[in-house]
């Protein structure tokens, strides 16, 4: 007797976010390499849900979220370093001109 294929329940799939929009925004505005990894995992979520791999979709969603936050954190860290460097460079130039 063959088993009938059933699609994943709507409750299971509606709880899984793909984080695609935040991943794209973090790629554009923050840290490109980590943002691209986040986009890759975010795009895997919907295809895994469509094939019935709810656990794989949840794991891909978790990784997309993690890399999105790492991208945002990396971008903020880079901007802080750039601002501090500018303050240091222009501060030393101002002191040197006195």
For the chain of 98 residues, list the mean pLDDT of each consecutive stretch of 10: 60 78 95 95 95 95 97 95 92 81
Residue 12 resides in a domain? no
Its domain, for residue 23, covers 17-96
Residue 1 resides in a domain? no
Integer Cα distance of 30 and 37 in angstroms:
13
Residue 4 resides in a domain? no
**Overall number of domains in the chain:** 1
| pTM attached to this predicted model | 0.78
Residue 10 resides in a domain? no
pLDDT at 44: 96
Residue 70 resides in a domain? yes
The string of DSSP letters for the chain reads -PPPP-PPPHHHHHT----HHHHHHHHHHT-HHHHHHHHHHHHHHHHHHHHT-HHHHHHHHHHHHHHHHHHHHHHHHHHHHHHHHHHHHHHHHHHHT-
Residue 31 resides in a domain? yes
């Amino acid at each position: 007797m063959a088993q009938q294929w059933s699609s994943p329940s709507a409750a299971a799939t509606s709880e899984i976010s793909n984080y695609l929009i935040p991943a794209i925004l973090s790629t554009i505005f923050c840290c490109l390499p980590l943002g691209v990894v986040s986009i890759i995992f975010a795009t895997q979520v919907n295809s895994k849900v469509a094939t019935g791999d709810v656990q794989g979709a949840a794991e891909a969603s978790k990784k997309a979220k993690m890399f999105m936050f790492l991208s945002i954190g990396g971008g903020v860290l880079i901007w802080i370093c750039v601002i501090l460097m500018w303050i240091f460079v222009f501060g030393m130039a101002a002191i040197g001109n006195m």
